[in-house]
A and B are shown apart, each in its own frame.
Chain A
Amino acid sequence: MNYKLKLLTVLLALLAVANVLWGSLDIPVRDVWHILCGGEVEDHPAWSIIVLQGRLPQMLTALLTGMALGTCGLLLQTAFRNPLAGPSILGIDSGANLGVAIVLLLLGGTASIGSLTIGGHLLVIVAAMAGALSIMSLLIILGRLLHSGVMLLITGVIISYVTGSIIQLLNYSATEQGVFSFVMWGMGNFASVGPERLPVFCILCVLGLLLALLLIKPLDALLLGDRYAENLGVRIGRVRQLLLLVTGLLTATTTAFCGPISFIGLAVPHLARLTLGTSSHRTLMPATMLIGANLALACNLLSTLPRDGSLIPISVITPLIGAPVVLHVMLGQNRNTGI
Chain B
Amino acid sequence: MIELQHLTIGYGNRAVLTDINQTIPDGQMICLLGANGVGKSTLLRTLSGFIPPLSGKVLLQGRELSSLSLSELSRSVSVVLTERVEVPNMKVVDLVGMGRSPYTGFFGTLSSEDRDIVGKAIEMAGIASLAGRTTDTLSDGERQKAMLAKALAQQTQVILLDEPTAFLDFHAKANTLRLLSQLAHETGKSIFLSTHDVEMALRLSDILWIVLEGRILSGTTDSLTQDGTLKRFLEPFELSDLQTSHIQGS
Asked if B46 is at the interface of the complex by the 8 Å CB criterion, the answer is no
Which residue from chain A places its CB closest to the CB of B135 in the assembled complex? A279
For B79, give its contact among A220, A223, A228 (CB under 8 Å): A228
Q: In the complex, how many residue pairs between chain A and chain B have their CB atoms under 8 Å apart?
A: 71
Are A280 and B94 within 8 A (Cβ)? yes
Q: Which residues of A contact B95 (CB under 8 A)?
A: 224
Contacts of A221 in B (CB 8 A): 98, 101
A217 & B98 in contact (Cβ 8 Å cutoff): no
B214 sits at the interface (CB 8 A): no
B23 interfacial contact with A, CB 8 Å: no
B99, A232: Cβ atoms closer than 8 Å:
yes
Contact with A along B29-60 (1 / 0, CB 8 A): 00000000000000000001010000000000
Kindly report which residue of chain B lies nearest to residue A280, judged by CB atoms: B94
A233 at the interface (CB under 8 A from B): yes
Tell me which residues across on chain B come within 8 A of A277, comparing CB atoms.
Answer: 89
Q: Is residue B165 within 8 Å, beta carbon to beta carbon, of the partner chain?
A: no
Query: Known: A230-B50, A232-B74, A233-B74. Is A217-B83 also a contact (CB below 8 A)?
Result: no
> Is B48's CB under 8 angstroms from A231's CB?
yes
User: Which of the residues B75, B81, B102 comes within 8 Å of A227, measured between beta carbons?
Assistant: B81
Q: Is there contact, CB below 8 Å, between B87 and A231?
A: no
Counting chain B CB atoms within 10 Å of each CB, the highest count among A220, A224, A277, A282 belongs to A224
CA A336 to CA B107, docked complex, whole Å: 31
Complex partner residue of B83 from A228, A232, A279, A336, CB under 8 angstroms: A228
User: Contact between A225 and B79 (Cβ–Cβ < 8 Å)?
Assistant: no
A278 within 8 A of B: yes
Chain B residues contacting A4 (CB-CB under 8 Å) are: none
Q: Are B108 and A220 in contact (CB under 8 A)?
A: yes
Residues of A within 8 A of B90 (CB): 223, 279-280
**Pick from A233, A235, A282: contact of B107, CB under 8 Å:** A282
Which residues in A have their C-beta under 8 angstroms from that of B19? none
Contact of B101 among A225, A232, A273 (CB under 8 A): A232
A336 with B74, Cβ < 8 A, contacts A220-B108, A232-B154, A282-B107 known:
no
Chain A 287-302 interface residues, beta-carbon cutoff 8 Å to B: none
Considering only residues 165-218 of chain A, those with a C-beta below 8 Å from chain B are: 216-217
B194 at the interface (CB under 8 A from A): no
How far is A224 from B97 in the complex, measured between Cα atoms in Å?
12
In-complex Cβ contact of A279 among B79, B88, B106 (8 A)? B88
**CA of A234 to CA of B74, assembled, Å:** 9
Residue in chain A with minimal CB distance to B78: A231
- Bound-state CA distance A98–B36 (Å) is 48
The CA-CA distance from A228 to B101 in the complex, in Å, is 11
Query: B71: which A residues are within 8 A, CB to CB?
Result: 233
Q: Does B168 contact A (CB under 8 A)?
A: no
| Distance of A228 Cα from B78 Cα, bound (Å) | 9
B85 on the A face (CB < 8 A):
yes
Q: Is B175 an interface residue (CB 8 A)?
A: no
For B73, B77, B98, which residue has the most chain A Cβ atoms within 10 angstroms?
A: B98
Smallest Cβ distance from A337 to chain B, in angstroms?
11
Task: Name A217's contact: one of B75, B85, B104 (CB within 8 Å).
Answer: B104
Min CB–CB distance A275 → chain B (angstroms): 11
Tell me which residues from 75 to 133 in chain B have a Cβ below 8 Å from any Cβ of chain A: 75, 77-79, 81, 83, 85, 87-90, 94-95, 98-99, 101-102, 104, 106-109
Min CB–CB distance A265 → chain B (angstroms): 19
In the bound complex, CA of A235 to CA of B73 (Å): 12
Q: How far is the CB of A132 from chain B (nearest CB, A)?
A: 27
A185 to B113, CA, bound (A): 54
Please give the residue numbers on chain A whose beta carbons come within 8 Å of chain B beta carbons, in ascending order.
Answer: 216-217, 220-221, 223-225, 227-228, 230-235, 273, 277-280, 282, 336
Can you list 30 A-B contacts (CB < 8 A)?
Answer: A217-B106, A221-B98, A223-B87, A224-B85, A224-B87, A224-B98, A225-B81, A225-B83, A225-B85, A228-B85, A228-B98, A230-B70, A231-B48, A231-B50, A231-B73, A231-B74, A231-B79, A232-B98, A232-B154, A233-B70, A233-B73, A234-B70, A273-B89, A279-B88, A279-B90, A279-B94, A280-B94, A282-B108, A282-B109, A336-B136
